[in-house]
Structure 1
Amino acid sequence: MPKQQHPTSPARIVGRRLRAPLAAVAAASALATLAACSGPGSGSGSSADATPTAVNTAVGGTPATLTLFSGAGLEKYEQGLADAFMAKYPKLKLKLRVEADNNYNTVLPRLLASDSAPDIAAPNDLLGGVKDGLLTNLDAYDKAYGWSKKVPASALAPGRVSKGVIGSGALYLAGGSAGPLTGVFYNKELAAKVGMKTVPASIAELDAVMAKAKKSGITPIVASNQDGLIGHLYNLLLGDYMGAQKLSDIVYHKPGATLDTPEALKATKTLQKWIKKGYFASDVNAINQEASYGQFTGGKGLFFFQGSWITQTIDKTFKGKYGVFPMPPAEKGGKYAGMTSNTLAYSIAAHSKHKDAAALFLNFLTTPEAAKVAVDNGYAAVTSDSGKTPSLSGTLTEQIQTGYAAIAADNGFDSWIQNAAPAVNTKLPQQLQLLVSGKVEPAAMVKTLQATYADAVKDN
């Protein structure tokens, strides 16, 4: 993802969260609490066993000290998780080992390979960690605690590895589900002017609102495309028309995955149609991210397709004047989809001497206490809002939570197409600028992106 975006940078497939958490937004949150079931024995305590089969879930009362390797930008958030965990399990200590953000990715692989490996960490290179035997296979813990039943499959998929491909197979990265909501931000005053009283339930309904705004002299979409950030909207359209799983298959390099599909073409044609209808400012290719923030808070447009990380910036001048809802499905009654990055996902080091206790921490991440810490640090989390219909009422925090829950309920979490390969990350902004200026047609754009992706996969 070009430029500074959010704390879980979409430029990494399962990348370490390098930037500071979002500005805090207060909200109560709750997860369905499921009792952990006990597995036989406690043989996984051995640091030599990278694939434990006999695990012990009854370790909360046994004294142990765990270490979580943290980047400085997430120290406050992860210390909050550690404090909540220790409050629930007083016999267990969880200490943070904090590293400068710019050193995290370099230091972690060496630490994982050492005799002083941290027990818990979020690896920046999951495939490399699995290949080198540095991470614990969590399947036995998944079975014992029932994580696959508690957490949306699309939130666990980035932690699964099979034959060198992310997205399926054995679980190496687990926890709860929390992250930013990427969706449709709207100006409340302008929404009232165009008579938008409910959340659009389909792309067609969204189009109708934008057509009405355009007719009323209101720019329907604020965006920045000097840096290719119309890509937020494009990714949302891809998720809608392709489905979250097929989009994620490309990002995870699943054999046979391709962007050159009728669904991706339809998404691209939809974006082109909105460009031709004049839904964007005429100079959108010259607008950068910072300027787009100013335009949205300055009342220069109705919608802003962005992620909830922007609240820390636009709240300074626009608090209470905007809201957000998830991208509506392609068809009414269809499934929600949206990009996110799981901030509650961690791995256990293969050399950890306290695997069972570390797994208890991963299980703790599926509880209401952990969800509340995530929400208090500005993230959305799987909460009791699941099942609620997204609406234009409620606080901004409630809208973020409800939107995130709607995507979770439809198992619709996916990733940014840019994450598929660095070359795609470079090529996409160029193609989006050409699409805006009318110098490329949707079919050619899709084929170019697919060719770029195919070459990158082949080279790897």
Structure 2
Amino acid sequence: MPEQHPTSPVRTVGGRPRAPLAAVAAASVLVTLAACSGPGSGSPASATPTAVHTAVADTPATLTLFSAAGVETYEQGLADAFQATYPKIKVKLRVEADNNYNTVLPRLLASDSTPDIVQPYDLLGGVKDNLLTNLDAYDEAYGWSDKVPASALAPGRVSNGVSGSGSLYQAGGSAGPLVGVFYNKELAAKVGMKTVPASISELEAVMAKANTSGITPIVASNQDGLIGHLYNLLLGDYMGAQALSDIVHHKPGATLDTPEAVKATKTLQKWIKAGYFASDVNALNQEASYGQFTGGKGLFFFQGSWITQTLDKNFKGEYGVFPMPPAEKGGKQAGMTSNTLAFSIAARSKNKDAAGLFLDFLTTSEAAKVAVDNGYAALASGASDAAEPSLSGTLTEQIQTGYAAIASDNGFDGWLQNSAPAVNTKLTQQLQLLVSGKVEPTAMVKTLQTTYADALKAG
């Protein structure tokens, strides 16, 4: 799961442009896909189709979807919903154990018995070895770039061996976790927080009031570097989602060593020095932080919606969540997510056009409902505008509106930890040093950038 990383017309609401995408309520547990591919060989020239056909709904076909066992129920739900809409096209799952999926997938993609639809983790490897279909023609035919937030499609784009831009190789709808600000409802009421903070300064004002009231503002664990969730949210706020994603996607010239990254780091340092974290945060692990939050030991918890199943065991109804507020009021929101409704079509697929219809189906409200039923926030095109984040409503509604707010600002980005394994290790170390007062923000950012650059050079 993410905690283990270290893996259109517009209307204006509240000062921010809102795209006409409707969020479907998110349920409370995130399923994790264990999927990774490696090198393959021998794929055909049809990896880049020159023409596509969208009028295929009445043509009988059978699609094979290669699924990891851990998401079999979810992907079977997608298959069933698709078949209910397009009964002449069958979707059969080929299920592989999670720990074998990564090994088996590249061999299958290079074989004559390839599945039609897959979710490769190593997208760059699949593109390099011509194992995946270039989806640009399908994108144009179905209008996916108009239906789905650009930041949700970006991880599926590849250009010159770099992800994040260029031709589309992985597409579908938009569904994933909300990483944001969980709050204790009782403590929020005590400090008078009646609305979602609209900026970092408003969030700071709430934390300052909590601190003077004897309430620890932030629950976190940093023995395992999970203050990194908060740090990544701050980086997205100050750098912007695109600049942060450029680093994660290894875009040439992308750098962390910027004044904006330093400002994000200084903000975190300011909160540390103000006593907004427990004094022993460097000694706390993830499980202990869960206990502290559900035990009423702090107001805020910067985490992802995958934690709700754990929190609900003894804290259900006692907490809520809202998206990380932007750096400035009216600014764009940003947050990390992973798109679970994004799939690729095998280059050797004999049913590319039917598979393209399946990917288009993933942009619909029917597919979004399946995602919701399996624990994700999800967006569907062609519905009414999403509501503004608020402290009212159910937890699933709060996750829904938070996810939609980030999507409408094209604010989805990745985890800095995922830019390179060495960065993951170094970030945990640097966050611990920042907490203990042994590194300054400028030096920390330079160290992380050097680690990143060295990792890219090493390949």
Normalised to the residue count of structure 2, the TM-score between the two structures is 0.91
> Which residue of 1 is the match for residue 203 of structure 2?
206
User: Among residues 69, 73, 79, which one is paired with 1:72 in the alignment?
Assistant: 69
> Which residue of 1 is the match for residue 411 of structure 2?
412
- 1:426 offset after TM fit, Å? 0.8
1:400 correspondence with 2:417: no
Gaps spanning 5+ residues in structure 1: where? 13-22, 27-45
Listed one character per residue, the Cα deviations across residues 399-432 of structure 1 (whole Å, up to 9, x for unaligned) are 0000000000000000000111010011100000
Using the alignment, how far apart are the partners of 2:341 and 2:253 within structure 1?
30
Using the alignment, how far apart are the partners of 1:261 and 1:48 within structure 2?
42
Q: The residue matched to 2:63 in structure 1 has which SS?
A: strand
1:250 correspondence with 2:263: no
State how 1:355-394 maps to structure 2 within 5 Å.
Answer: 355-383=352-380, 384=383, 386-394=385-393
Taking a change above 3 Å as real, the CA distance of residues 10 and 362 of structure 1, as seen in their structure-2 partners, is farther
Which amino acid is the alignment partner of residue 287 of structure 2? E
Which amino acid is the alignment partner of residue 91 of structure 1? K
Using the alignment, how far apart are the partners of 1:261 and 1:124 within structure 2?
29
State how 1:221-240 maps to structure 2 within 5 Å.
Answer: 221-240=218-237
Using the alignment, how far apart are the partners of 1:277 and 1:446 within structure 2?
21
Using the alignment, how far apart are the partners of 2:202 and 2:152 within structure 1?
28
- 1:299 offset after TM fit, Å? 0.4
Question: Percentage identity across aligned positions?
Answer: 84
> Which residue of 2 is the match for residue 18 of structure 1?
none
Q: Which runs of 4+ in 1 moved over 6 A?
A: none
Taking a change above 3 Å as real, the CA distance of residues 238 and 360 of structure 1, as seen in their structure-2 partners, is same
Q: Is the 8 A contact 1:48 1:351 kept in 2?
A: no
Q: Is the 8 A contact 1:174 1:347 kept in 2?
A: yes
Q: Is the 8 A contact 1:385 1:401 kept in 2?
A: no
1:195 correspondence with 2:180: no
> Which residue of 1 is the match for residue 427 of structure 2?
428
Using the alignment, how far apart are the partners of 1:416 and 1:356 within structure 2?
34
1:97 correspondence with 2:94: yes
> Which residue of 2 is the match for residue 111 of structure 1?
108
Q: Is the 8 A contact 2:156 2:164 kept in 1?
A: yes
- 1:312 offset after TM fit, Å? 1.2
Q: The residue matched to 2:321 in structure 1 has which SS?
A: strand
Q: The residue matched to 2:47 in structure 1 has which SS?
A: coil
User: Among residues 302, 306, 311, which one is paired with 2:308 in the alignment?
Assistant: 311
Listed one character per residue, the Cα deviations across residues 172-220 of structure 1 (whole Å, up to 9, x for unaligned) are 0000000000000000000000000000000000000000000000000
Q: The residue matched to 2:183 in structure 1 has which SS?
A: strand
User: Among residues 325, 330, 338, which one is paired with 1:328 in the alignment?
Assistant: 325
- 1:108 offset after TM fit, Å? 0.5
- 1:124 offset after TM fit, Å? 1.7
> Which residue of 1 is the match for residue 46 of structure 2?
49
- 1:277 offset after TM fit, Å? 0.3
- 1:386 offset after TM fit, Å? 4.1
Which amino acid is the alignment partner of residue 102 of structure 2? N
- 1:5 offset after TM fit, Å? 4.1
Which amino acid is the alignment partner of residue 449 of structure 1? L
Using the alignment, how far apart are the partners of 1:353 and 1:446 within structure 2?
49
Taking a change above 3 Å as real, the CA distance of residues 327 and 385 of structure 1, as seen in their structure-2 partners, is farther
Listed one character per residue, the Cα deviations across residues 118-148 of structure 1 (whole Å, up to 9, x for unaligned) are 1000112111110101000000000000000
- CA RMSD across the alignment: 1.4
User: Among residues 17, 33, 58, which one is paired with 1:61 in the alignment?
Assistant: 58
Which amino acid is the alignment partner of residue 438 of structure 1? G
- 1:11 offset after TM fit, Å? 5.7
Taking a change above 3 Å as real, the CA distance of residues 265 and 312 of structure 1, as seen in their structure-2 partners, is same
Using the alignment, how far apart are the partners of 2:90 and 2:379 within structure 1?
26
Using the alignment, how far apart are the partners of 1:273 and 1:293 within structure 2?
24
Using the alignment, how far apart are the partners of 2:335 and 2:458 within structure 1?
29
Using the alignment, how far apart are the partners of 1:245 and 1:110 within structure 2?
34
Using the alignment, how far apart are the partners of 2:155 and 2:365 within structure 1?
22
Which amino acid is the alignment partner of residue 67 of structure 1? T
- 1:385 offset after TM fit, Å? 6.8
Using the alignment, how far apart are the partners of 2:384 and 2:335 within structure 1?
17
Which amino acid is the alignment partner of residue 438 of structure 2? K
Which amino acid is the alignment partner of residue 246 of structure 2? D
Using the alignment, how far apart are the partners of 1:132 and 1:47 within structure 2?
10
Listed one character per residue, the Cα deviations across residues 232-265 of structure 1 (whole Å, up to 9, x for unaligned) are 0000000000000000000001111000000000
Listed one character per residue, the Cα deviations across residues 409-457 of structure 1 (whole Å, up to 9, x for unaligned) are 0000000001110100111000000000001000110000000000011
Using the alignment, how far apart are the partners of 2:226 and 2:108 within structure 1?
36
Q: Is the 8 A contact 1:200 1:206 kept in 2?
A: yes
Normalised to the residue count of structure 1, the TM-score between the two structures is 0.91
Which amino acid is the alignment partner of residue 268 of structure 2? L
Using the alignment, how far apart are the partners of 2:255 and 2:269 within structure 1?
21
Q: The residue matched to 1:161 in structure 2 has which SS?
A: strand
Using the alignment, how far apart are the partners of 1:89 and 1:405 within structure 2?
28
- 1:382 offset after TM fit, Å? 1.4
Q: Is the 8 A contact 1:386 1:402 kept in 2?
A: no
- 1:388 offset after TM fit, Å? 1.9
Gaps spanning 5+ residues in structure 2: where? 8-25, 30-42
1:348 correspondence with 2:345: yes
Q: The residue matched to 2:46 in structure 1 has which SS?
A: coil
Q: The residue matched to 1:238 in structure 2 has which SS?
A: helix
Which amino acid is the alignment partner of residue 208 of structure 2? A
Listed one character per residue, the Cα deviations across residues 318-342 of structure 1 (whole Å, up to 9, x for unaligned) are 1101000000000000000000000
- 1:459 offset after TM fit, Å? 1.2
Q: The residue matched to 1:49 in structure 2 has which SS?
A: helix
Q: Is the 8 A contact 2:27 2:377 kept in 1?
A: no
Which amino acid is the alignment partner of residue 63 of structure 2? L
> Which residue of 1 is the match for residue 84 of structure 2?
87
Q: Is the 8 A contact 2:6 2:425 kept in 1?
A: no
Using the alignment, how far apart are the partners of 1:280 and 1:456 within structure 2?
32
